[in-house]
Every structure is written in C-alpha cells, then in structure tokens.
Amino acid sequence: MGAKKILSYGRFVLMILLVLYLILVWMYFKDNTPQLTASSLLLWFVTIPLLLLGSIMILLWWQKRSDNQDVNTSDIGGEKFGEQETIKQPVTHKLFIYSRVCLPEGNCWSEVIDNDEDLTVLSDDLVDMDGLPILIKPIDNLPDAASLPYEYMIDADTTDSDLNDNSPNSTTLRLYSLIHELLSLSDDVCSTLAEHFDQYYKQDDTQPNSALHIHPEWQQHYLVSANEESSRMSVCSHASLSALPVYLCIPASADSSVLITLVKAQLANYGIPESLLSITPIVSSGTDIADDTETDDTSEFIHEQLIPLSQSPVPELCLILIADSQIKHEWLDAHLYSSNGSNIIPTEAGVLLVFFNQAAQDVLDIDTSSRILLTEIGTPSNKDNTSKNNGHDHHASHDLDTNTGTPLYSNPHEHLRNRHHYLEHLTAIQNLLMDNNLSLSPINADEQTITTQATKAIPKTNVALSDRTITAISDINPLNQLYDVSVYLRFLEAFIVKGALVNEHHLGHYMPLNQWLKPFISLSLFVNSAENSKQESELIFLVTQHKRCSILWLADSPKTSD
C-alpha cells in the first residue's frame, strides 16, 4: 500500500513540475524572444517536457503492473476458496399447491385463456355521473344469495327487499356467494381434509374396556393388541396435520365476522371441526402495488407464511381464500374516476389456494395438486412488521388523494427504482434458467454455495433448451405496464434465441387494482396449467412482481426431481 501511495504522489509531483516548467519557460522566452533558436526550442519545449511526461507514464505503467500482480497473487493464493464462492444460488423451496379460481371467463386455465367472448353487460343498478348505466363484468354462474344458507346472517327484522339494496350487507352476501362457489369447486380437497381429520382426531370415548369382561386367558392377548394399536395411532397422530389455518382476504366493506361464520359452517358440512380451524381475516387494498405503494402484503405473506411452511419437517398446510367484487357503489366512488380505474370495467373474482409441504402431501396424497418450486429473487419489504400479527392489520395503509382516489407518492423516485429492481430480478431469473443453475429439488441453506464446475458437471435435466416448449406466465397488466412488458419480452428473447418455443401469457389485467388477486389469480391459473401438463420437455413458470422482490414459480416435473 505504501508503494502505491509513493507512485501516486510521484506522478502528481511530476505533473505539477511539468505545468510549472512550461509556464516558466514560456514567460522567460516571451521576454527574450531573440535568444530562442531551433536548438533551444527543441531542448526547452520538446525534449525536457517529453522526459517529464515519459516519467509520468512510466510511473503510471508501474502502478498498473503492481495492481495486476496483486490481483494475480490473490487469485492464485485464493484459488482453493475462490471456486467455492463463485456462484451463490437463491434458496429454492418446494411446495404443493391446490388451486381453484372463479372468474367471469371461467374456472380453469383453458376456459379463461381461450375465452374471447365479450362478457360485459350494462348494469341495472350502477350508473355514472350522467345517470347512464355503466358496463360491468359479473360472474354469471354464481348462485343467488337467496338460495344459500344465510338466514343467520340477517337480523329477524330484515325483509327480503333489503337484500336487493346496494348496501354492505348485500356486498357481504355477494362475497359469500363467491366463497361458497370456490369451496364447492374444491369439494375433493375439502373431503380429503375432512377424512384425514376424522381418521386421526376422532375420539371414541364411549367404547368400554372389553378386556375386563372376556375370558382371563384372552385378557393378556387383548391388552397387547390394544397397546400396539395405541402405539400405531400415536405414531400416525404425530405425522398428521395439527390444524387448518385459513386466511380470508376480503375488502374492507365486507363484514368479516359474518363471512368467517359462514366459512366455518360450510367446512363443517364436510366434517372439518371448528376446533381445528384458525381463520385470519386480511383486508385487501384496492390499489395496485407494482409502483406506488409503500408496502406489499403479498410478498410478506409468501416470505413469512409459505417459505417457513415449505421448510417444516412436519405436515403443515394453509388455505387462503381471496374474494372481491367491484360491482358496488363504494368501489365506483373511489376508483371509477381516478387515474388508475378510469379505463377498468368493474368486475369480480375469487381464488382458493391450498399450500402444503412434502410431509403433508405424504399424509394427504392429493392427486389434483401440483409440485411447484418457489424461488425468491430480491428482498421483500419488511415495513410495518408490528402490524403483521394482527388479522385486521394485514392490509397496507395508503394515503389516497381525496379527489382522485390515487395514492400520494412519498418518494418521486420510487417508480423508477421499482422498474430497475424488476429488470435486475428478471436478469437473475434468466441466468438461473438459461444456465440450468436452478435445482429441480429443494436446496438447503448449507448448499447455497455451488461451484461453477459442479454446476457444469451435474446437469439438472437431460432436456436441451432448444428442445423445450416454454410457457411463460406473468402477472403484468399489459394495459398500463408497457415498460414491464417490454422488459419481459427482452427477458424471453434470450430463450427464443436458444431455440426454445415460447408461449407467453400476461394475466395481470383480471383484477389489477387488487394487490392480492392480481398475483394470486395468475398463480392459480399457472397451477391449473401445470396440473394439466406433465411433459418433461415442457417448462412452465410464472413470475410475479412485488414491491422489492420477484417470485419465480416453476412447475417441477416428477421425472426430473424424483
């Protein structure tokens, strides 16, 4: 370090001397012009300045040579350890996901993606400022609230005509119709869970101890068999689900207590006891979090609920129900004339997702689930950690303009920073998929450091990228995220150049102003697509965009991971 400083100071001194020398010589010969001959001109203005300049260049070359030697020395000395720190892989988590979605377009991937019909209709109740009916896009096949068991939701003095009023009560009934439909579509998984809980948690205390009433010669044999059965049931109980956590994500205008009661009642019809349910309400925000809000509850939910669940050695699962209906006066007053909602037709949607780990899949053996690899790229926002344990405080607090309903930006550069983050995240995802560094099985924290040689020596799949058919899904809204679409297309161009056949789908336009439904609708349709495609050569992945991170959801083929 001392030699480097000496070289730097030497060059600095020589540069000062060169400048001073030229100034002094010029001033001298300016007053003594007759003494300037050809030989003196060559000596004073060419030879000596070149010597000083050459000395400066020699010192500069010497310093660069010294730096190169230091780098080479450190590379040689650290060769043993440098190879182990070449690549740091993000941790990949394996999850099993069961999903159902309810949209105006349909209830599965093929119905939604292939639906080109115009589903908009004129509302009979909602009008604009001029008194004209507005276009809405409802779900036509939802059961009417009057046909559902909602009688205990309504006060005794409530008349049937009150149900037709556009009030919070009617909004709650509409959401219950949506949730009821989602649970009905999930009949298979609800029945499986009910059978599991009935098998492992039903206590039969009424059976008498028959060993007291049988022949003495058979009592010992009976007691041994009873002990073996008790031991077997104890082992099975240890490997069983201990509870069914349910997260109910609904808008603020809905009555959460009423919907919680109804969810418990409908699950009880399958035989799932209320004592095993823990329902946590989450209030969804009617704002897109892609660019302008401070918090992102969806990434926090993934980071704090799903990732620990995937790492748990014991069977665990969680069920999340997300429902929202924009076909109401409250939503129109807040969003219809704002900059975010001016071009959006009010609609409604619902999603049911069940996340469970490998241990739970071994116990439940749900055939209709998909094995998904979750990889978090970037760091999610951990702001407002004090509110994440309160069910009603799971939603983000946003300051809205009272005139337009749009968020007030706390940082004018946040929009550009989010774009830069998204570009970095897509680049990291591209490197993982292109270099085949993303393992098709979970990576433990101790195995995050992977050498370049090991990556090349152990390919994760035998299918070449040129032979693959890629289904790339995103939660981008192509109507107002033109920059993100262009970045995503450049991201896919790298796969096309390698010879892969790429099919892209952007699904963020179904509920763009709901920060929970926008990514989870995409996730549900992605899971449905992966469930129907079991070919090893087909690569199906989803990229969901969050505030300070992106999530890569990769369909894991059983042939490549078993």
Is pLDDT above 90 for 161?
no
> How high is the pLDDT of residue 487?
94
- Beta partners for 524? none
Is pLDDT above 70 for 505?
yes
CA 519, CA 306: separation in Å to the nearest integer? Answer: 15
Q: How far is CA 399 from CA 411, 526, 534, in A?
A: 13, 33, 46
Q: Residue 153 — pLDDT band, cuts 50, 70, 90? A: low
CA 302, CA 281: separation in Å to the nearest integer? Answer: 16
With a pLDDT cut of 90, the percent of the chain lying above it is 35
CA 317, CA 95: separation in Å to the nearest integer? Answer: 10
Judged by DSSP in three states, 490 sits in: helix
Q: Who has greater pLDDT, 332 or 274?
A: 274
CA 517, CA 515: separation in Å to the nearest integer? Answer: 6
Burial 93-117 (b: 16+ CB within 10 A, else e): bbbbbbbbbbbbbbbbbeebbeeee
Measure the CA angle with vertex 60, ends 58 and 66; round to 5°.
100
- Mean predicted confidence (pLDDT) in 97-118: 93
Cβ-Cβ contacts under 8 Å for 112 (sequence gap 6 or more): 101, 103, 105, 106, 525
Structure-block tokens of residue 263: 């969810």
CA 315, CA 365: separation in Å to the nearest integer? Answer: 12
Per DSSP, 89 falls in state P
Per DSSP, 546 falls in state -
Structure-block tokens of residue 159: 């008349």
- Beta partners for 354? 98, 319
Q: How far is CA 298 from CA 80, 199, 248, 320, 392, in A?
A: 42, 34, 13, 12, 15
Nearest to 516 by CA among 254, 323, 258: 323
CA atoms within 13 A on the CB side of 371: 20
Structure-block tokens of residue 399: 């300051």
Q: Residue 11 — pLDDT band, cuts 50, 70, 90? A: confident
Q: Residue 150 — pLDDT band, cuts 50, 70, 90? A: low
Provide the terminal-to-terminal Cα distance of the chain, rounded to the nearest Å.
54
Q: Residue 420 — pLDDT band, cuts 50, 70, 90? A: confident
Structure-block tokens of residue 254: 């809905």
Is pLDDT above 50 for 447?
no
User: Which contiguous run of DSSP H or E holds residue 500?
Assistant: none
Q: Which regions of 115-207 does DSSP assign to beta strands (E)?
A: 121-127, 133-136
Burial 359-388 (b: 16+ CB within 10 A, else e): bbbebbebeebbbbbbbbbbebbeebeeeb
Q: How far is CA 457 from CA 78, 85, 453, 461, in A?
A: 22, 17, 6, 12
- Mean predicted confidence (pLDDT) in 112-121: 90
Which residue in this structure is represented by tokens 């009916």? 133
Highest mean pLDDT among 130-139, 241-250, 447-456: 241-250
Where does residue 92 rank: exposed (0-12), middle (13-18), buried (19+ CB within 10 A)? buried
Measure the CA angle with vertex 96, ends 95 and 101; round to 5°.
115
Nearest to 352 by CA among 539, 202, 477, 190: 190
> How high is the pLDDT of residue 69?
64
Cβ-Cβ contacts under 8 Å for 146 (sequence gap 6 or more): 160, 163
Per DSSP, 409 falls in state P
With a pLDDT cut of 70, the percent of the chain lying above it is 67
CA 258, CA 317: separation in Å to the nearest integer? Answer: 24
> How high is the pLDDT of residue 70?
58
Give the tens place of pLDDT for each residue, 368-397.
899 999 999 987 644 444 333 444 333 333
Lowest-pLDDT range, 76-80, 154-158, 234-238, 406-410? 406-410
Per DSSP, 218 falls in state H
> How high is the pLDDT of residue 507?
95
Is pLDDT above 80 for 494?
yes
Structure-block tokens of residue 261: 């009661």
CB 331 within 8 A of CB 287: no
Burial 278-302 (b: 16+ CB within 10 A, else e): ebbbbbbbbbbbbbbbbbbbbbbbb
